[in-house]
Amino acid sequence: MKWFYRNFFKRAFDLIFSLLAFLLLLPIFILVTLLLFIVNEGQPFFLQLRPGQNGKVFKIIKFKTMNDKKDSQGELLSDEHRLTAVGKFVRKTSLDEIPQLLNVIIGDMSIVGPRPLLVEYLPLYNKTQRRRHEVKPGITGWVGVNGRNAIGWDQKFNLDIWYVDNMSLMLDLRIIFLTVLKVFKSEGITAEGVATMPKFKGNN
């Protein structure tokens, strides 16, 4: 049953769920787009290359919650200093994830799966950590409902691999339900002492 869900039904579930969710959230999507268009000087969206299933790189779309302010040397300021007031609200309520429904509809992502991390991390993974790419990345996942950015990298990877080995319809439905609760509680949005999450620097 798990094999059938993983290889066939999960894609159908993703497509139906993402289409319905996007239509339901369309008014919010339009409103947030307009607000970020104003505060980010005409740039409401953030596009970035991320590794997907089997490490295949795709272009993820998110709401742009940080501006592009730079210091006197022309370097971008820290995340904390670039996070706008509107951006903080959008991130706190997880509204920045809405555009990723388009990635799910296209087929690059799933509703539930390991979060797509940075391309620069790919050569830093060990053999076990690399297994997170055996499935499509998700808008939410087992990490998201078990600490999100408030836990360390080792724990994140362990949770990702556990999900890969135990993926099922019931688990995905449980994660979606817990995600809704987490959004209302605004838990685990940031790591201690930083605005988002410290970069992964490998295993040494």
Profile the chain (204 residues) by mean pLDDT over runs of 10 residues.
84 96 96 92 91 96 83 73 83 88 97 96 95 96 86 93 95 94 68 61 76
pLDDT value of position 196: 57
43 vs 36: CA distance, rounded Å: 7
Q: What is the pLDDT of residues 132-141, one digit of tens each?
A: 999 999 999 9
Q: Is 124 exposed, middle or buried (0-12, 13-18, 19+ CB in 10 A)?
A: middle
Burial code (b: 16+ CB inside 10 Å, e: under 16) for 95-109 equals bbbbbbbebbeeebb
pTM of the full predicted structure? 0.85
Side chain identity at residue 2, one-letter code: K
pLDDT value of position 138: 97
Q: What is the pLDDT of residues 29-48, one digit of tens each?
A: 999 999 999 988 888 998 99
Q: Positive or negative, the Cα torsion across 26, 188, 68, 87?
A: positive
What separation in angstroms does the CA of 118 have from each of 55, 67, 182? 11, 19, 24
pLDDT value of position 83: 81
Question: By the 8 A CB rule, do 62 and 96 touch?
Answer: yes
pLDDT value of position 4: 85
